[in-house]
């Protein structure tokens, strides 16, 4: 007798093994999961299954990176943080001194001859404009013509 190591018994399967990633997730390298189609005529040990993915089809257009499809593009000019803070401050100040929404809105959005412009625009433009508009609001509130 010769000393030969025991061998594993060979097993046969009806279909070739398909090593495919989960159908709903990306592959290990981050690419979309490939579609693997087994050939029905393939016997065990024969040619591997056919892979269908983007690399296999050169006629397929190159994929573009996805953008956020539901985000609106902001096309108007945004206020810088200092201007936004001045706008908030003057709106709250006018609301407080001129008796609420109607009085504050009417004063801030209409042209004022004493200030030489629309109070809201002047207050947002600079700290000096903010101080001038606050003084005008204080004078208006004191005289009782607040709205």
Domain ranges of the chain: 86-142
Q: Answer whether 0.75 is exceeded by the pTM.
A: no
| 52 C-beta neighbours (distance < 10 Å), count | 12
Give, as one character, the DSSP assignment of residue 100: S
- The pLDDT score that the predictor gives to residue 26 is 57
pLDDT, tens digit, 9 for 90 and up, residues 73-131:
777 888 899 999 999 999 999 999 988 888 899 999 999 999 999 999 999 999 999 99
To the nearest 10°, the Cα dihedral for 14, 19, 22, 26? -150
Q: Report the pLDDT value the prediction gives residue 70, as an integer from 0 to 100.
A: 74
**pLDDT score recorded for residue 108:** 93
The predicted pLDDT at position 32 comes to: 63
């Amino acid at each position: 007798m010769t000393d030969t190591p025991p061998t594993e018994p060979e097993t046969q399967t009806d279909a070739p093994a398909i090593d495919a990633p989960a159908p709903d997730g990306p592959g290990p390298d981050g690419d979309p999961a490939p579609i693997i189609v087994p050939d029905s005529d393939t016997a065990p040990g024969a040619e591997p299954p056919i892979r269908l993915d983007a690399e296999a089809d050169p006629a397929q257009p190159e994929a573009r990176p996805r953008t956020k499809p539901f985000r609106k593009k902001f096309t108007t000019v945004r206020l810088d943080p200092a201007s936004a803070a001045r706008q908030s401050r003057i709106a709250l100040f006018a609301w407080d001194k001129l008796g609420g929404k109607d009085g504050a809105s009417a004063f801030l959005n209409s042209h004022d001859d004493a200030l030489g412009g629309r109070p809201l625009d002047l207050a947002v433009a600079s700290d000096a404009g903010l101080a001038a508009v606050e003084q005008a609001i204080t004078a208006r509130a004191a005289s009782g013509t607040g709205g």
